[in-house]
């Protein structure tokens, strides 16, 4: 039996997309590493009945552990602890010692951050956070909200509920302590190792890969394979127990055999990481000149820690004046051919390489829309150029979708072009 | 009776967070505008039983309509149409006319994009996409996957299921046609207008606001209020029927009364939009010099369509050499005080203002970590400077969290500083 968990993410702000959910995916991945299978992530608003229904649903799916995130704050709409208690059959109870500890934490935070707090409001909020279901185990706060492990009341059956706060830093900080709870350990006792491996392809259509997989039917027992296309990149993720490693190796060999030239990653690495490794192997630095993507590429190149060894910087030349002043693109070139042209992309790449003293330069100029397109140069037309000390590669892209899609997909294509340019 | 809907988002890639869910929030918001209430968004992987369980759960919550996204592709792990048919009691059936239409679409796409496709694989994928539950209504594809409206089998009770594809562009493109389906219209017939309004504050702690709300208890009938703190910005979202407008107006007046100086938006506008409006009112242009955030700010400033009227560009000066060469920050200043210093932030702001010829300049220099910190200058220390033709404002920030948090929160603080600088 594989241990299974279900996750409830609470908060109207998440349900309506005002805040993206960073906890559900993080918990799903953390549990997968432990060999625990996650069947559902249920996002609910702040309505009591909806949360209770979600908790009962996950218990009914046979989950060994239910985890909730959010709804532990000092405000009246934060009801998770109370509702979990109700569903588990445990009455609310003020934990006086916990109230004291939270009071100390809040006092310390206020001092450190120079907050001026209304004492009455603070005390009321603290007391609310210290009211917990009777018999629940408390996980000490990283912020101000305590976590809880709430077993079902005696005489009932059902999984325990692990209650964690919503701020991702607090949730992640409390995760190790949560895993040490005896009730959580018992719930996840059935966990067995589940491997997850990823193969990434660039340029193979999904239907071609599907044909390859159909040809392997019968040899794929024990492999749970999912494929996913994003912006031209085809991702094949396989999950399996250790006993099926040989079957997985055969699958990878078959994908290599059929689509070898488009396979760019078999160790899970994303294109960003492969590019960083390739640049570091060469000892090359990089600088970017971006028009329609205006900083998105350089922001992404500097995402990883330590990126300053390879990234010198970038110039977002949104206006033509900046293309000329900061990158040295001749104004006559822009006048004659337009800012969105192959020649300007080349001039931007070589300009930023030279001015910033980088080994590798990138030029991106295009029409992200929705305005600015013409019959000749429609929205989605993007000219890109990547240059190394060894060669220069230019591409004319026709990127589908709206403004955000054009910008994001252009960055993705350029990362792949850079990888091809730099890979040894 | 308010009409209610439930949403199922399918895909292991979404469940595990490899791909963020863009459909659940979009649908929840589109439904809210129609006056339809969404109680749950359930994310499931590609496992058949998990999807079936989610469909039954949402029907049991009393939803008038269930919407699924994803799982309609040509590969074998895309099972949504088949499983929805099973749950609704309808057998799969090849729709020959639909198969013909999808064949034409695929042929056209292949021609336009120059794909080389294996004819056998393509035909198998197309046929799979044309197998639909008997009696389902087909919504014509925007990509290659058709949508479906699948009612329960005769003699049973339960909500119809609206089946939509996963790619956001396709889903959004097919939404108007889905709303015209007679079965969808009938399911949502109970929809009544539900207003949603947002107040945003910058600098009021959540517990202070909670105290204000507690003081109003008894006068808040019919208002569903949620508060959410993100990176220092406090968001108060209220949903109510038109008959409670007066109550909402009183709430806003009370929040203004208690926290007026920190209320920066009452019409739902985000800081980005307010800043854009303020710049345009002044007729000012802006340019950025970013070190630790390396392009994130300028990328965000250029998110909205038409941003070229106010954004000239930006320089991501990740290395000290670029700070000197591209921004004119004196090398001696960096040597004497370090790249992360108030003086360098000022020099970056004035340098980029001058070199790019902008009215407003921004300088950001800090230590995003995890490396590079010291006792004097720890990770999270960020110096920022914003300058207009009228004044210059500098701030020393101590931003909590990991590398990504430091970068994101810095951008948010700078947007608020810019709004204060520019607002008339």
CATH number at residue A320: 3.90.950.20
Give pLDDT, residue A397: 94
Candidates A73, A298, A303; nearest CB to B316: A298
Q: Which has the closest alpha carbon to A241: A82, A32, A4?
A: A32
Closest by alpha carbon to B121, among A212, A252, A253, A251?
A212
Please tell me whether residues A235 and A141 are part of one structural domain. no
- B-facing residues of A in 216-275 (CB < 8 A) are 224-230, 235, 237
d(CA A88, CA A283): 59
Q: Is residue A379 scored above 80 in pLDDT?
A: yes
Sign of CA dihedral B210, B212, B216, B222: negative
Of A321, A314, A329, nearest in space to B315 by CA: A314
Compute the average pLDDT of residues B21-35.
88
Where does a domain end: A241, A265, A289? A265
**Same domain, residue pair A245 and A300:** no
- In chain B, residues with a C-beta closer than 8 Å to the C-beta of A325 are 355-357
Give B260 to chain A, closest Cα distance, Å: 16
Closest CA to B410 of B321, B263, B295: B295
Q: Which residues pair with A233 in a beta bridge?
A: A202, A230
- Counting residues of chain B whose pLDDT is more than 90, the rounded percentage is 72
Q: Which pLDDT score, from 0 to 100, does residue A228 have?
A: 81
Closest CA to A366 of A327, A414, A416, A421: A414
Q: Is the pLDDT of residue A1 over 60?
A: no
Q: State the pLDDT at residue B218.
A: 84
Confidence of residue B15 (pLDDT cuts 50, 70, 90): confident
The verdict on B399 touching A (C-beta cutoff 8 Å) is no
- Same-domain status, B206 and B290: no
Domain end (from B164, B187, B210) = B187
pLDDT score, position A244: 93
B402 at the A interface (CB within 8 A)? yes
Q: Is A396 on the interface with B (CB under 8 A)?
A: no
Q: For residue B239, give both structure tokens.
A: 């949903």
If one counts every other C-beta atom within 10 angstroms of the C-beta of residue A355, the result is: 19
User: Are residue B119 and residue B251 in the same domain, yes or no?
Assistant: no
Find the CB nearest B117 among A13, A20, A207: A207
Instruction: Give the residue-averaged pLDDT of A161-170.
Output: 94
Is residue A115 very low, low, confident or very high in pLDDT (cuts 50, 70, 90)? low
User: Which of the four pLDDT bands, split at 50, 70 and 90, describes residue A107?
Assistant: confident
Residues A143-163, mean pLDDT to the nearest whole number: 93
Where residue B75 sits, what CATH number does that domain have? Answer: 3.40.980.10
Check pLDDT > 70 for residue A113: no
- Look at residue B69 and give its three-state secondary structure: strand
pLDDT at B161 over 90: yes
A240 and A305 housed in the same domain = no
Q: Which of A3-7, A73-77, B265-269 has the lowest mean pLDDT?
A: A73-77
Residues B130 and B220 grouped into a single domain = no
| Whether residue A153 sits in one domain with residue A260 | no
Helices (H), A159-244: 168-180, 182-187, 206-215
Interface contact B375, partner A, CB < 8 A? no
Evaluate if residue A193 carries a pLDDT over 80: no
Give the residues across from B361 on adjacent strands: B287, B387
Q: Rounded to an integer, what distance in angstroms lies between the CA atom of residue B153 and that of residue B155?
A: 6
Which CATH number characterizes residue B215's domain?
3.30.70.600
The pLDDT assigned to B113 comes to 67
**Residue A53 touches chain B, beta carbons under 8 Å:** yes
Same domain for A153 and A252? no
**Residues A384 and A404 reside in one and the same domain:** yes
The arithmetic mean of pLDDT across residues A249-278, rounded, is: 94
- Which residues in chain A (118-147) have CB-CB distances under 8 A to chain B? 118, 120-122, 124-125
> Is B387:B288 a contact under the CB 8 Å cutoff?
no
Q: What would the mean pLDDT of B267-291 be, rounded to a whole number?
A: 95
Centre a 10 Å sphere on the Cβ of residue B66 and count the other Cβ atoms it contains.
Answer: 29
Distance CA B80, CA B421 (A): 52
> What confidence tens digit (pLDDT) does each residue in A348-357 have?
999 999 999 9
Q: For residue range B165-191, list pLDDT tens digits in order.
A: 999 989 999 999 999 999 999 998 877
Q: What is the mean pLDDT of chain A?
A: 92
Domain of A95? Answer: 4-187
Please identify which residue in the block is written with the tokens 């340029």. A203
Contact yes or no for B12 and A306 at CB 8 A: no
Give me the residue from A13, A322, A370 closest to B312, CB to CB.
A322
One domain, residues A318 and A375: yes
Does residue A97 sit in the same domain as residue A40?
A: yes
> In this predicted model, what pLDDT tens digit does every residue of B185-242 receive, in sequence order?
999 887 777 788 999 999 888 888 988 998 888 888 889 888 887 767 898 989 888 8
Per the structure, the count of domains in chain A is 3
**Among candidate residues A265, A300, A315, the one where a domain is terminated:** A265
Residue B401: per-residue pLDDT: 83
Q: What is the pLDDT of residue B208?
A: 87
E strand segments, A328-419: 360-366, 381-387, 392-398
* Average pLDDT value for residue range B401-417: 93
Which SS3 state, helix, strand or coil, does residue B189 take? coil
pLDDT digits (tens, 9 = 90+) for A283-324: 999 999 999 999 999 999 999 999 999 999 999 999 999 999
| Model confidence pLDDT, tens digit, residues B84-121 | 999 999 999 999 999 999 999 988 887 776 666 778 88
A47·B61 Cβ contact <8 A: no
At residue B1, the pLDDT reads 55
Co-location of A25 and A173 in the same domain: yes
DSSP letter assigned to residue A163: E
Contact between chains at A356 and B73 (C-beta distance less than 8 A): no
pLDDT of residue B23: 93
Nearest 10 degrees: CA dihedral of A367, A372, A377, A381? 20
Average pLDDT over residues B279-296: 97
CB contact under 8 A, A39 and B45: yes
Q: Is B373 on the interface with A (CB under 8 A)?
A: no
């Amino acid at each position: 039996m594989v241990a299974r968990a279900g996750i409830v993410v609470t908060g109207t702000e998440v349900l309506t997309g005002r805040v993206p959910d960073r906890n559900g995916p993080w918990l799903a991945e953390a549990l997968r590493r432990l060999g625990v299978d996650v069947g559902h992530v249920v996002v609910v608003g702040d309505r009591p009945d909806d949360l209770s229904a979600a908790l009962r649903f996950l218990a009914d799916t046979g989950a060994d552990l239910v985890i909730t995130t959010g709804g532990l704050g000092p405000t009246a709409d934060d009801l998770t602890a109370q509702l979990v208690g109700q569903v588990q059959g445990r009455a609310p109870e003020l934990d006086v010692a916990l109230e004291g500890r939270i009071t100390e934490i809040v006092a310390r935070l206020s001092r450190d951050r120079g907050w001026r707090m209304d004492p009455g409001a603070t005390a009321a909020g603290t007391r609310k956070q210290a009211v917990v279901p009777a018999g629940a185990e408390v996980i000490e706060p990283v912020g101000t909200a305590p976590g809880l492990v709430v077993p079902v009341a005696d005489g009932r059956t059902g999984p325990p509920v692990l209650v964690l706060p919503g701020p991702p830093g607090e949730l992640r900080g409390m995760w190790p302590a949560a895993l040490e709870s005896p009730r959580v350990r018992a719930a996840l006792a059935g966990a067995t190792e589940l491997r997850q491996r990823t193969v990434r392809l660039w340029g193979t259509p999904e239907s071609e890969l599907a044909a390859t997989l159909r040809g392997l039917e019968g040899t794929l027992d024990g492999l749970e394979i999912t494929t996913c296309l994003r912006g031209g990149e085809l991702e094949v993720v396989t999950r399996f127990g250790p006993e099926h490693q040989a079957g997985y190796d055969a699958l990878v060999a078959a994908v290599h055999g059929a689509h070898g030239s488009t396979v760019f990653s078999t160790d899970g690495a994303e294109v960003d990481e492969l590019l960083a490794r390739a640049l570091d192997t060469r000892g090359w630095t990089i600088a970017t000149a971006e028009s329609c993507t205006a900083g998105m590429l350089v922001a992404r190149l500097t995402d990883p820690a330590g990126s300053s060894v390879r990234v010198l910087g970038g110039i977002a030349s949104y206006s033509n004046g900046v293309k000329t002043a900061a990158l040295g693109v001749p104004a006559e070139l822009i006048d004659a051919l337009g800012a969105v042209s192959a020649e300007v992309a080349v001039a931007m790449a070589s300009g930023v390489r030279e001015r910033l003293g980088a080994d590798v330069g990138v030029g991106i100029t295009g029409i992200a829309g929705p305005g600015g397109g013409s019959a000749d140069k429609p929205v989605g037309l993007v000219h890109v150029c990547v240059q190394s000390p060894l060669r220069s590669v230019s591409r004319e892209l026709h990127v589908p979708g709206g403004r955000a899609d054009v910008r994001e997909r252009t960055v993705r294509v350029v990362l792949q072009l850079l990888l091809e340019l730099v890979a040894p």
